[in-house]
Amino acid sequence: MKRNRVGQFLLMSILFVLIGACAKVSNPSGGPRDRTLPVVMETIPEYGSKNFKGKTITITFDEYVSLDNINDKFMVSPPVKKKPKVYVRGKNVIAQMEEDLRDSTTYTFYFQDAIKDLNEGNTIEDYQFVLSTGTVIDSLSVTGNVYNAFNLETPEKTMVLLYRELADSFVVKHLPDYISRVDQKGYFRINNVKAGTYRLYALKDADNSKNYNFPEEEFAFMNTPVEITEEKNFMPVVKDTVTVKKVIPKVKDVKGKKEPIIQDTIVPIGEYPLMLFAPLKTNHYLNSSGRPLKYQLTYTLSLPPDSMDFTLKIPGSREESYFIEKNREKDTIKVWLTDSTLYTQTQLVTIVTYPFTDTLGLLGYKEDTIKMRFLTPRPSRGTKVKKAAFTYENNIKGNILKPGQQIVFTSGTPFREPDTTKIKLYQVSDSVRVKVGYSLVKDSTNSSRYFLNSDLIQDKKYLFVADSAAFGNIYNDYADSTGINFSVKKEDSYSKLTITIKNSKGSCIIQLLNSQEKIVSEATVNTDTKISFPLLDAGITDLR
């Protein structure tokens, strides 16, 4: 009897455990991510239709889709004056024409990668739809690559334009006959082109006009017309888009999860290379003005004024209540207000006189009255406003100076004359400090910069000490005390790069760039020669 009760107890315990396990709440594991692309099931009209007379195109997919940045990505070739309205309705992408299409013309509708599925965001790359308003589908194409002429990098958001009219001026006032965009690698392909002779251009369209009507837009062109013939047909065989199979990317197992295998993209090389360049500015005008600080005004010209004047005055104020600094090219002036009755005003009226090119291309002077506003940020309620301490920076990076490198101090506001009785420079050896002579020299063109000159010795350690209030600005703000330990490296601890220039044609600029594409050093040569770049840090350097 006891044995039977023990068995019943064990059986009940097991049942309770099983019921508890079944009732345990947990998140569903889900299945593998859907990586399949939306598939076109039907189009009205059919892809490649002829004699199209309607105004609506409907593309039906096998799943719900959405549009990504369609206003920027969608294009029609040849261009239309009124851009079609493109929208989604369920599984349909609809393009509604806002004007009649031209007769006997093959149209290509470029969606690029704007169409993606609704749930996972899988995009259809380079989707295009083609139809004709005539009896034939033009089937030729033009291919090429666009490069930035300055650094040969891939230019972003660049259009490629094709014109039947061969006059150079036609690109300024008229829409192209065909249009396309370069891809992320700089490659382009204009499809469904009619045989003939054309002008080929590339353009970074600043005003969305689809023509080169703004002189400062980046532009590229072929020197000679391009011939598009049957022998240069680069069009691939067009497959019926309705029967395109779903593409499932290859995957790999990463810690128990399936991840797609990312493969390097091979950049296609087209027939026509185009070098995109920014034309030199020719028009003089006031490019910008601003008041970033309550006591600072800035004005910038589009071009250096050369021998012409670039002046400013503040009506009703004394000349000693502000001073002006110009940069080396003299195309930027910085005004420092020194009178509190000026810089405490929310709005100042200034009069600027500068070189200006009028609509006839004639250069003269223009005088503008510009209101400069500055609103002091209001502190939040209950917050006590503290006077900001004066700060300054130096060019000693990683506590290391290169041989012959000058120490530079910079600030956001003009320095007052430093108190050198509170500034010391020591040469340090073990625990022994020896004073070193120095001089502080103010930059003649920039009141916010000082140079420290001293005979520093390679392979020696130094300590720079500035007591509190040693440095300050003209607005009676003072810096806290600071100490900087640094050493001067030996020359043989750096690298030296020597470059031989051969077959030089004209003036060349040779530049060394770091990993952030910033210029480390540069030199200008006019003939075959050798140039050296000393004191280079270890690492990879780009040469341009």
Per the prediction, the chain carries an average pLDDT of 87
Query: Distance between CA atoms of 250 and 38, rounded to whole angstroms?
Result: 17
What is residue 5's predicted lDDT score, i.e. its pLDDT?
A: 54
Residues 261 and 291 in one domain: no
Decide if 18 is inside a domain.
no
Query: Distance between CA atoms of 257 and 240, rounded to whole angstroms?
Result: 35
- Cβ(189)–Cβ(181) below 8 Å: no
**Which residues have a Cβ under 8 Å from the Cβ of 206 and sit 6 or more positions away?**
214, 216, 217
The size of the chain, in residues, is: 544
What is residue 245's predicted lDDT score, i.e. its pLDDT?
A: 41
209: its two tokens: 């006009």
314: its two tokens: 């503040």
Q: What pTM was computed for the model?
A: 0.65
Query: Distance between CA atoms of 134 and 119, rounded to whole angstroms?
Result: 39
Distance of CA 434 to the CA centre of its chain: 49
Domain count, the chain: 5
> Would you say the C-alpha torsion 96, 98, 103, 109 has a positive or negative sign?
negative
- Domain extent, residue 72, equals 40-132
What is residue 110's predicted lDDT score, i.e. its pLDDT?
A: 92
Q: C-alpha dihedral over 103, 106, 110, 111, to 10 degrees? A: 70
Which segments of 43-94 does DSSP mark as H helices, in order? Answer: 70-73
Decide if 25 is inside a domain.
no
Q: Which of 280, 295, 318 is a domain's end point?
A: 280
Residues 156 and 263 in one domain: yes
- Cβ(404)–Cβ(393) below 8 Å: no
- Relative to beta strand 92-96, strand 85-89 is antiparallel
Residues 244 and 183 in one domain: yes
DSSP 172-215: HHS--SEEEE--TTSEEEEEEEPSEEEEEEEE--SSS-SS--ST
User: How much of the chain exceeds pLDDT 70, in percent?
Assistant: 85
What is residue 85's predicted lDDT score, i.e. its pLDDT?
A: 95
Of the candidates 494, 492, 500, the one whose C-alpha atom is nearest the C-alpha of residue 543 is 500
Decide if 21 is inside a domain.
no
What is residue 28's predicted lDDT score, i.e. its pLDDT?
A: 54
Query: Distance between CA atoms of 220 and 161, rounded to whole angstroms?
Result: 10
Decide if 10 is inside a domain.
no
Q: Render pLDDT for 165-195 as a digit per residue (tens, 0 to 9).
A: 999 889 998 999 999 999 888 999 998 999 9
Query: Distance between CA atoms of 467 and 419, rounded to whole angstroms?
Result: 9
Residues 48 and 166 in one domain: no
Angle at 72 between CA 66 and CA 73, to 5 degrees: 60
- Cβ(356)–Cβ(284) below 8 Å: yes
Decide if 128 is inside a domain.
yes
Residues 241 and 257 in one domain: yes
User: In which element (H, E) is residue 342 found?
Assistant: helix 340-343
Using 50 as the pLDDT threshold, list the residues of the chain that sit under it.
1-3, 6, 17, 19, 23-24, 237-249, 262-264
Query: Distance between CA atoms of 442 and 420, rounded to whole angstroms?
Result: 13
What is residue 92's predicted lDDT score, i.e. its pLDDT?
A: 95
What is residue 431's predicted lDDT score, i.e. its pLDDT?
A: 82
Local structure of residue 474 (DSSP, 8 states):
T
